[in-house]
Amino acid sequence: MSMQPVAVNPWRHRWCLLTLAATLALIFIGGLVTSTGSGLAVPDWPLSYGMLMPPMVGGVFYEHGHRMAAATVGLLTLVLAVWTTVDERRRGVRGLAWGALAAVAAQGLLGGLTVLYLLPPAISVLHACLAQTFFCLIVALAYSTSREWRTAGVTTDEVGLRGAALVAAVVAYGQLILGAVLRHTGAGLAIPDFPLAFGRLWPAFDRPGVAVHFAHRLGALMVLGTVLWLLGRSWRSADPRFQRPAALAFALVVAQIGLGATTVLSGKAVLPTTAHVAVGAALLGVVWFTALRAFRLLRPPREAHAVRMAALGDPA
């Protein structure tokens, strides 16, 4: 990958950040729909009770509000894709923008299918996972249009930051898949106590949902472990560009575990349950951004010198 500076319109970068913020808000609103049991409050699609704007009462407020937020994110992404096509020289970034548009369109279709087919778990889980994938695409677009991407040079990865960041991102994404399965199969309270499981360290898997729920708890420990690994590598690097996001990721993991515990102990109260979804997405975004940054700025020792010395070619 070349380190030649790439001219990028700063306003397009700001638009990416706006789309990113709107997507995180959309994930929170989508969590509210599930947490309040409003997924079928509007039984038709793409209209709502045959209208563009139904009375916003009861569960309709959450479900139709979710549709309005999704339409807003879709419009922001459409503008971003067209803007990127007109303004961007890098083929990969143009493809990324159109990939994001395809993802948000598919997400809207899956949302409609969840309603028309009465919330089937498979489609609902796919809908949740695609939301996180789309979020990661927008994170990548935001970083690829940043000043750092355009101007930063290559340094040597002396402590294995690239591997730690990538593993943390993969494990966080896997944990969110498990969370979506747990959420949409009704396994959120399959184990009703915390931190133990039915008063034991290892429960008997003799009830529906216990295996999924317990796997999600083990996944939380894996996420914590990989983020601690990333945090340790970042402090060994003494590079604040990695120390800060790694510290934020650790804080988010701690908050996420606390929200998970509160969700169970409160019997899935709406606010902590929904915040658990949004903080999980934020954590994924932070570790994914850290991985992107590491692979952009760092090279293994044997490659770093060659990259620095290579002639500058077409932008990557």
Same domain assignment for residues 192 and 286:
yes
- Domain end call among 122, 152, 182: 152
Same domain assignment for residues 35 and 143:
yes
Same domain assignment for residues 84 and 25:
yes
Same domain assignment for residues 173 and 236:
yes
Same domain assignment for residues 129 and 226:
no
Same domain assignment for residues 123 and 158:
no
pLDDT in tens, 229-280: 999 999 999 999 999 999 999 999 999 999 999 999 999 999 999 999 999 9
State the sign of the Cα–Cα–Cα–Cα dihedral 54, 55, 59, 65.
positive
Q: What is the pLDDT of residue 316?
A: 45
Same domain assignment for residues 184 and 137:
no
Q: What token pair was written down for 279?
A: 């903080």
Same domain assignment for residues 88 and 108:
yes
pLDDT in tens, 181-202: 999 999 999 999 999 999 999 9
- Domain end call among 112, 133, 152: 152
Q: What is the pLDDT of residue 135?
A: 98
pTM of structure: 0.92
Same domain assignment for residues 119 and 196:
no
Same domain assignment for residues 223 and 251:
yes
**Residue numbers in the chain where pLDDT is lower than 70:** 1-7, 304-316
Cis previous bond, 46, omega within 30: yes
Same domain assignment for residues 1 and 63:
yes
Q: What is the pLDDT of residue 151?
A: 83
Total count of domains within the chain: 2
- Domain end call among 95, 117, 152: 152
Q: What token pair was written down for 66?
A: 């979710």
Range of the domain at 54: 1-152
